[in-house]
Amino acid sequence: MEDGQDIERDRQRAEIFDALGHPTRIVILKALSEEALGFADLKKRTSIESSGQLQHHLNKLGDLIKTDEHGKYCLSNQGKDALLTVQTVENASLTRKDSVKTHSRLYRSKKFFQVFSVLLAFLLIASTAIALVEFNQVQQLQNGPVAKLNDAGYLNSSKLFLISAYSFYGKHNGQACLIIEATVRNDYTAQQPPPMDNFPGNSSGMAYFGLTAKLYVKNTQIQSEDVTSPGSAPLGVSQIGLGSEDTYVVEIDMATSNHNVDSYTINLVGLAGYPIP
């Protein structure tokens, strides 16, 4: 009989197999092995059209990825090990193809791929079943919550304009969350820079800030913790640097098990014309 540690190891292996059960996730791991990327840059690099699809794959990768101090996605040590395993299998497959010269070797290779195909099919079926459950959860929110635009679009009387917000249920570091993707534009200019600008009269209009959210059910605020960037100083959430007239998709992860959220507000955390120390 397996003890608790064996069961936990089996569970972790199953999660890794599930995470690697889709070619798009391997593409994401390879992209992040080259450099840390923000959500928008990762979406462009991997040619994934839907933000929801990219977020779904990021959630499935779980502990294989993490965010750095700048809020960009990168590989965790576990993710590096998983990618090395994938590359080892790929290299072994290429080596096998190059070295197959006899009928017996071809037969063995054929049997290997038959077994591998059955295993892969099983993993894909399991992944599909899990994806359907998650899709049903996401569907509950697709046509529900709508961001209440603060001050006709401008956040907290600033010149940071909330263009749009998209939300869905997912996980962040294993926690159940309402994940919000807020598209923000910086309308500050060199002539009208953000407050606390280090270069008055010679500003670029660059803005540094953080975003968080408040969740509501029937106009009543519910308890929820922002886990976007736990423990990051000084804002407690990821700090964004945005050039004048530039736009950026900011991810806000609000930990909650409540699937009845019907609205939320996007709130500004800190604002300056230079990195907030």
Q: Which one is predicted more confidently, 195 or 233?
A: 195
Is residue 90 scored above 90 in pLDDT? Answer: no
Most confident among 19-23, 59-63, 80-84, 215-219 (mean pLDDT): 215-219
Going from the N-terminus, what domains does the chain have, and what CATH number goes with each?
Answer: 1-142 (1.10.10.10), 146-272 (2.60.40)
Statement: residue 94 has pLDDT above 60: no
151: left (phi over 0), alpha (psi -120 to 50) or beta: left
Distance CA 142, CA 139 (A): 5
48, pLDDT greater than 70: yes
Q: What is the mean pLDDT of residues 109-120?
A: 58
Q: What angle do CA 83, 61, 134 make, to 5 degrees?
A: 150
Q: Considering only residues 55 and 144, tell me which one the structure prediction assigns the higher pLDDT.
A: 55
pLDDT at residue 121, as a whole number? 61
Per-residue pLDDT tens digits for 148-157: 555 458 888 8
241 — phi, psi (to 5°)? Answer: -110, 120
Which of 150, 120, 140, 142 is CA-nearest to residue 214? 150
Average pLDDT along the chain:
76
pLDDT, tens digit, for every residue of 206-250?
999 999 999 999 889 999 999 887 656 678 888 888 999 998 988
How does pLDDT run across 261-272, given as a tens digit for each residue?
888 989 998 899
Number of other residues whose CB lies within 10 A of the CB of residue 121:
10
